[in-house]
Amino acid sequence: MYGWKCSLSWCLVCIATCLAQRAEPQNKTTIYFGAFYPLSGLYSTWGQGCLPAAELAVKHLNEREDILTNYTIQLSNFDTQVGEMFSVQ
């Protein structure tokens, strides 16, 4: 049911590959990604499993020198608390 959220890591990799630049960076531009997970509440185990995967993907992308040479990725995580009302506030 919530397994698609773990695919965020793959989405980041795909987006990063599409934005890859081969030139030497003058100043790195920050790319901000927002991720919404149920970190608390009934389905918090799904979100707590996806959060480290997304953070690891961002770490690996930022460490690579052959992709996104002019960019740094910053991930912002938000707790949806498994409630629709909290998610859209």
Give average pLDDT by consecutive 10-residue segment, the chain, 89 residues: 50 54 66 88 82 92 89 90 64
Residue 67 lies in a domain: yes
Spatial contact of 56 and 12, defined as CB atoms under 8 Å apart: no
Residue 9 lies in a domain: yes
Residue 23 lies in a domain: no
Q: Please tell me the distance from the alpha carbon of residue 11 to that of residue 27, in angstroms, as a whole number.
A: 25
Residue 83 lies in a domain: yes
Q: Is the dihedral of CA 32, 64, 51, 8 positive or negative?
A: positive
Number of domains forming the structure of the chain:
1
User: What is the model's pTM?
Assistant: 0.61
Q: Which domain holds residue 60?
A: 3-16+28-87
Residue 22 lies in a domain: no
Residue 56 lies in a domain: yes
Residue 70 lies in a domain: yes
Residue 42 lies in a domain: yes
